[in-house]
């Protein structure tokens, strides 16, 4: 992990497209500002984990649904043996 010290008004860069600003420091809280391209998703850690969990559950449901649908789909063997 890289640890940097910055003061209010200073920033750091991540790559060429992302800039992180220190907006305010009050007590034990730091407010950060982010400047990044629209296609870069920026989330608080707890929100990111909820999104990842929801995506994982959705993928499981989709796999289960595909498996159930496969039982109703004609198999390749049955379709080729009728020719």
Q: Are strands 29-35 and 11-14 parallel, antiparallel or unpaired?
A: unpaired
- In whole angstroms, what is the distance from residue 44 CA to residue 32 CA? 11
Output the CA–CA distances (angstroms, integers) from residue 14 to 11, 33, 65, in the order listed: 10, 13, 40
Rounded (to 5) percent helix, strand, coil in the chain: 40, 25, 35
What's the pTM value of the predicted model, to 2 decimals? Answer: 0.64
Q: Going residue by residue through the chain (83 aa), what tens digit of pLDDT does each one get?
A: 999 999 999 999 999 999 999 999 999 999 999 999 999 999 999 999 999 999 888 777 666 777 777 777 666 555 555 55
In the chain, where are the structural domains located? 10-62
């Amino acid at each position: 992990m890289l640890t940097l010290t910055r003061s209010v008004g200073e920033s750091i860069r991540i790559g060429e497209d992302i800039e992180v600003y220190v907006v305010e420091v009050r007590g034990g809280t730091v407010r950060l500002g982010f400047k990044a391209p629209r296609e870069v998703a920026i989330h608080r850690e707890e929100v990111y984990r909820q999104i990842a969990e929801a995506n994982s559950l959705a993928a499981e449901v989709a796999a289960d649904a595909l498996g159930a649908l496969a039982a109703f789909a004609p198999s390749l063997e049955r379709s080729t043996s009728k020719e």
